Each structure stands twice: as structure tokens, then as C-alpha cells.
Amino acid sequence: MPGTVSSPESVVLYDTTLRDGSQSEDILFSVVDKVRIARRLDALGIDYIEGGWPGANPTDDAFFQEIKRHTLSHSRVVAFGSTKRPKTKVEEDGVLAGLLRTEAAAVTLFGKTWTLHVTTALGIPLSENLEMIADSIRYLKARVDTLFFDAEHFFDGYKADSHYALQVLQTAHEAGADALVLCDTNGGCLVPEVAEITRRVALFAQEKGIASLGIHCHNDGELAVANTLAAVAAGVNHVQGTINGIGERCGNANLVSVLPTLLLKMGKTTAVSPQQLRQLTGLSRFVDEIANRLPQKNQPFVGSSAFAHKGGIHVSAVLKNTLTYEHIQPERVGNQQRILVSEQSGRSTLLFKLAQLGLGELDPQDPRLQTLLDELKELEHRGFQFSGAEASFELRALAAFDKLPDYFRLEGFRVIDERRGGVNALCAMGAEATVKLWVGDRLIHLVGEGAGPVDALHVALCRALEGCYPQISDMHLQDYKVRILSGNGTNAKVRVLTEWQDSQHNWGTVGVSDHITAASYDAIIDAVRFKLYKDGVSPVQER
């Protein structure tokens, strides 16, 4: 059976991205989104996928019906809900009925373990809470294959009344729960607390014959991953979390960090094979894309900066032996090493980057190398940032060694902003841009309109070049950032970073000026030139 623990070193992986993760502010998954994510989780080798809370919203209900039409190779879908309500018979409880209607093979019930919640939130005697838990689990376990019990607020409950918290676990176990999951629901417990309490519970479980303990941590104290790993070290063999740590409030334990740590550092085994682990970076970025979030560059293991090296001493060392500044091989999680060029870079960094660009073995004493290095350091001193705009660096490197084709030459541009409507009216903004450039021996002078000056410049430039270079119609602006660097008020120097995408590549460019439109224009020009170079386009020749 998928997810079955085969040895003390084996850990069951339980993903709640589709339920707990969807409770993140600004995240709204459609049914199609949830199915696509579920299929990717299945491909990774996740044992259990919590699909949602049936009856809570139409999307969750529709997901449980839709997922039946898809064959998962490994994962089992889980329906989530609460124990029955007070003073209600299990046969008449709407939540329990909703869980059964999903026909999911596995169900997770959560129940109260903290006396504060029982007496204050529910307003019932402690004994009645135990009866609710027992009745609900017995009723469902007779009708589903697998049932997990989430002991809500367990660590806070244990600290308040350890006897009652353990009594809740024993009640759930005797009623038939397959695993008892200890929850740090408020996300405020410290690592030593979680480790010690879990150790005590593991001893209790051993005495009572409880086979499987789990952990479910929230991240309100920035400790969800650390607490999860501490619990595993203390004896749990069932881990819950979400992809990229998304979730209620500050999020959940990030499975993207937990999973490789379990496999590569703690010696645990899971259903995820080394080959499947290579999907981790792609999965992380896929979920961010579906959730309409920008990937975090500094996210451990999978971020684009996770194995990026900028300082000259670091780069020199890592090029000799990656172990000097990399805790794992990035390829093991589907990531890659990146060497960044900056004002901190040395000659060895630049030689490595130029070799990556296909410029071959260069003489370290080639004067063009030092000229390029001096230029890059001067540009970064002026505010350029090539670590986030590697396309702009590549263009300068190619030009320094006479490898950049002459696609077009700029004459200039002009932009006019326009506001329509009165001061107190709902006003519409627009812009008109004119560009003048040479392609071969042809002077092209065209106008474009857009929502703002940058958009208008992009439109005008594309219109001017598409007749000669139709490939640029495939490139699209993905992100645009402006950073004020120096100066006061409206005359400040600014840096513009742009991110572009076509059907095959993503690339970033940079422009710096005391005029935001000029900085944007320079970044756009770099983006267009890079697109043409990457596509292997030959420049238009003079007639």
C-alpha cells in the first residue's frame, strides 16, 4: 500500500498544498490547478495528497469528483475534516457525511487536544471531547481504508495538560486511527520543546502499541522546517507539509526543504527515488506559477540563488571543489550552479563565465579580459546589477570579444505621456513613443502607443524591427522592477531590472539612468539584442 512504513528509517510524505496551502492569502486554486498540482505531486512520489475539505467550498467538492477521472501511479488522495459536532450523532453529522461522499480511500480528521480549546472554543466537558473523537473515528474507519488523526494544537495542549493531551492520542488510537499527527497549529513552539515533547510521546506510543506518529508544523516562528526535522529525529515517521511552505498565516513546513534534508542528510528513506528528487526544483517553480507567485530566489535547495556564487574568493574556491561552498550537489534536486559576475568578481570568475558562453580557452593575460573586467566593475559602481541581469552581462562580454552581431543601430527615441479627463474625473493614461534606428542601411522611424512610456517604447521598438526580425514577436515582458539608487526627489538615479520570456528561454536585463524611461529603454534594447543572438539570427546586411 502506498505510504506504508517499511522500516524505522522510512518516512511517509503527506502533502497539504491543495488544502492548507490554498488557505494562503492571495492564493486561489481552481479545480484544474489542483488536479495539475496533484499529478505533479504523484510524479514526485508523495504518498498522500490532501485534496481539501469537502463541503467547505464548491472547488474542493468538484476536485474530489474530478480527480477520480485521473489515474495516479502512487499517491492516494485524502479528504480532510473535523470530528463530529457536539450533541450530534455520527450518522447525522454533515462533515462526516461529506467526507464519505468523496469516496476518498483516506481521511484525515482533526480534533482538539488543548483543554483551552475544548472548554472555551467548543464549550464542552473534556470527557465529551474524547467521546466525539472516538465516535467519529470508529464511524469513519469502518467505511474508509485509512484514517489519520490530526491532534490539533498538540504541543500547546501538552504544555498545558500533558495527561489530557496523551489521553486524546490514546482515545484516537483505540478508536482505530492509523497514524496520530502532532500539530504545532499556532506555529509558535521552539525546536527544543518540539524535540523533547515528541520524544516523550514516542515513548508513550511504544508503550501503548501506537505504530505511527506524524508531525504537522506551521511557520509562525520561522521554525516549521526545523521543528519537523526535530520531530523526525525524535521518532515520528509521517511528515506533513506544503510545497514552498505556503499556507495559513505564515505558512506550513516547506516540503521542498524537508524532503531533501530527510533523504540527503538524515539517512531516511521515502517513496521518492533519487531520480524523482531531481524533479523538486521544477515542481517548486510549477506550484509558484500556478499560485501566481514569483519564485523566491533565495529559497533553499531550489531557488535560483541557492547555488549561486558571487564573491571572488567563493568563486575561486568552488571552481576548484564544489564542496567548499555547496552543501549538496545542486543537480540532486534539479537545480544548477551559477557563477555571478559583479564588482566583487575576479579574473577566474570572468574566465569561467566566458567559457560558459562558448568563447573557449582564453589567455588569462588577454588585455581584452582586463578591459571587460574593469568595465563591469565600473558599471556596477554606477548602479548596474548583472547578478540579476545575466543577459546584459553576456551582451557586453560578447561585444568585448567582437562576437556580438550588429543587428541595429540606435538614433534615438521620444516619448509623450497623455492624461485624458479632468482632475476630478476617472482619468485614463496613455503614452506615445517614437523610435528611430538603422537596420543595415535602412533608417526606420516608427511610432507606438501603450499604457505607459515603457509599454509604448516596447511597442514602437517591436514595430520598427519586426519587419526585419520577426522573431522578436515571440518575446514577452514577465517582470519589471525599479530601484531608486541615489539622489533626492524626482532627479534620483534609478535601476530598472526586466525579466523576459519566449517559448524556450527566460532572461533578465538591466538599465541605469537618472531618467526612468532611459533606463527602461536600455533594458529593452538589451532584451531584444539578446533574443536575436540566442535565436542565432543573422543581421540584416546593407544593400
Distance, CA of 291 to CA of 370 (rounded, Å) = 45
Distances (CA, A) of 394 to 44, 174, 365, 409: 35, 65, 20, 18
β-strand pairing of 476-486 with 493-501: antiparallel
Domain final residue pick, 421, 449, 468: 468
Over range 56-65, report the average pLDDT: 95
Instruction: Specify the pairing of strand 493-501 against strand 442-450.
Output: unpaired
Residues 311 and 330: beta-carbon distance below 8 Å: no
Could you give the CA distance from residue 194 to residue 199 in angstroms, rounded to a whole number? 8
Burial of 124 by CB count in 10 Å (0-12 exposed, 13-18 middle, 19+ buried)? middle
Q: What is the secondary structure of 122-173 as a DSSP string?
A: I-S-HHHHHHHHHHHHHHHHTTSSEEEEEEETHHHHHHH-HHHHHHHHHHHH
| Residue span of the structural domain in which 447 resides | 408-468
- Is residue 266 a part of any domain in this protein? no
What's the average model confidence in pLDDT over 422-435? 73
Full DSSP string of 176-190:
T-SEEEEEETTS---
CA nearest 472: which of 432, 516, 429, 437? Answer: 437
More confident residue, 483 or 513: 513
> Any idea which residue has 492569502 for its cell?
25
Q: Is residue 132 part of a domain?
A: yes
Q: How far apart are CA 395 and CA 375, in angstroms?
A: 13
Identify the pLDDT of residue 454: 86
Whole-number Å distance between alpha carbons of 4 and 428: 61
Span 330-336, mean pLDDT?
94
Model pLDDT for residues 346-403, shown as the tens digit of each residue? 676 777 778 878 887 788 888 898 898 888 888 888 888 786 788 999 999 999 999 9
- Give the three-class secondary structure for 375: helix
For residue 45, tell me if it sits in a domain.
no
The tally of domains found in the chain comes to 2
Angstrom distances, CA of residue 127 to CA of 95, 179, 275, 507? 21, 22, 49, 61
Whether 148 is covered by a domain: the verdict is: yes
Q: Is residue 381 a part of any domain in this protein? A: no
- In CATH, what number is assigned to the domain containing residue 83? 3.20.20.70
pTM for the full model? 0.73
Please, what sign has the CA dihedral across residues 92, 93, 98, 99? negative
Model confidence pLDDT, tens digit, residues 238-287: 999 999 999 999 999 999 999 999 999 999 999 999 999 999 999 998 89
Cα–Cα distance, 524 to 529 (Å, whole number): 9
d(CA 260, CA 278): 10
Is 210 inside any structural domain?
Answer: yes
- Is 287 domain-assigned? no
- Mean of pLDDT values over 148-167: 98
pLDDT above 70: percentage of residues in the chain = 93
Domain endpoint, select from 237, 253, 288: 237
Residue 5 banded pLDDT, cuts 50, 70, 90: very low
State the maximum Cα–Cα separation within the chain, in Å, rounded to a whole number.
Answer: 93
**Given 468, 503, 520, which residue is the final one in a domain?**
468
Can you give the CATH number for the domain in which 463 is found? 3.30.160
Query: How do residues 200-209 score in pLDDT, each as one tens digit?
Result: 999 999 999 9
pLDDT of residue 308: 86
Is 23 within the bounds of a domain?
no
**pLDDT band, very low/low/confident/very high, at 81 (cuts 50, 70, 90):** very high
Return d(Cα 446, Cα 352) in angstroms, integer.
41
CB contact set of 195 (below 8 Å; sequence gap of 6+) = 230, 231, 233, 234
